[in-house]
Structure formats: C-alpha cells, structure tokens
C-alpha cells in the first residue's frame, strides 16, 4: 500500500499510536495498483478503432510494455475514441492516465 495516507495519532498521557507498515512495495506503486485482475477483457468494446481489438490489446499491455509503440490504438474516423471497459467487480477510481504517443493533443477531461 502506498503511504499517501500515512498518519499518526498523539494520545493523552504521552501515549502515541502510529500505524506501522513496510515500505517495500513503494518502489512499484503502479504495479501494485493494477486493475488487470478485475477487467473483463472479452467485454471491452472500442468505437472508431482502425484495427479490430486494438483497444483490448493496448489495455493488455504489461507495465514493462507501456511505452512500446505496438500495439497502437488509432481512430478510423476522427480524433475521438470511445472505450467501454467492463469490470468484474464494482469499483470507484479517481484518476486515469492516457499516454499519447505522438503528443499532438492531450485527452480532454472526460476519460
């Protein structure tokens, strides 16, 4: 677990209570927070993709493959792509990172 929410509680009478934990996993935070295990890859649908299933193949890239140019997801109609990514559980996430290989345009706020 990342230490972004690390805190301690000072108690009355000089008693302090700290939440102890290991920092061993802080080296690879992106790997420990992966959604791979909860994505229903067979249900992924990408609209406007040039090559069939390229959206799913891009999602299946490992952490080590994330900067590789293959496979590449390209729109066949315009600059917009719409992806439906189903999960096998209910979840709430607050941030999604999108990497644009050509850095021509950055994605809008709706991701």
Whether 2 and 29 have beta carbons less than 8 Å apart is answered as yes
Q: What is the pLDDT of residues 76-109, one digit of tens each?
A: 887 788 999 999 999 887 777 777 766 555 555 4
Q: What is the pLDDT of residues 17-55, one digit of tens each?
A: 555 556 555 445 555 567 888 899 999 999 999 999 999
CA 68 to chain centre: 16
CB–CB of 81/44 below 8 Å?
A: no
Q: pTM higher than 0.75 for the full model?
A: no
């Amino acid at each position: 677990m990342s230490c972004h929410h690390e805190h301690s509680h000072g108690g009355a009478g000089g008693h302090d209570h700290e939440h102890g934990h290991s920092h061993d996993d802080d080296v690879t935070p992106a790997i420990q927070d992966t959604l791979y295990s909860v994505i229903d890859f067979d249900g992924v649908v990408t609209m406007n993709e040039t090559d069939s299933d390229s959206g799913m193949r891009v999602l299946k890239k490992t952490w080590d493959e994330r900067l590789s140019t293959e496979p590449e997801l390209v729109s066949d109609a315009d600059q917009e792509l719409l992806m439906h990514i189903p999960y096998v559980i209910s979840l709430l996430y607050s941030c999604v990172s999108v990497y644009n290989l050509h850095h021509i345009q950055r994605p809008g706020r709706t991701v």
